[in-house]
Amino acid sequence: MISCKCIKHILAFTGEGGLREVWHQLESQIVTVPVEDMGCMLDADTQEDYNRLSDYMESLILS
């Protein structure tokens, strides 16, 4: 989950690296929470990533 406190920082980010780079900048404020859903760990940065995530979500709906 992403805190609403991070939204301004995320939206203002203009550098390379996407959200992963934002996380590096906010590293001291991040808390890792274990989850059982692998969908929480999938990227959606590229079309291929998005397709993988979409396929995963569809598999959950169909099962």
**pLDDT tens for each residue of 10-26:** 999 998 988 889 989 98
**pLDDT tens for each residue of 23-48:** 899 889 888 889 888 888 888 889 99
Q: pTM value?
A: 0.54
DSSP per-residue string spanning 13-61: --STTHHHHHHHHTGGG------S-GGGG---SSHHHHHHHHHHHHHHH
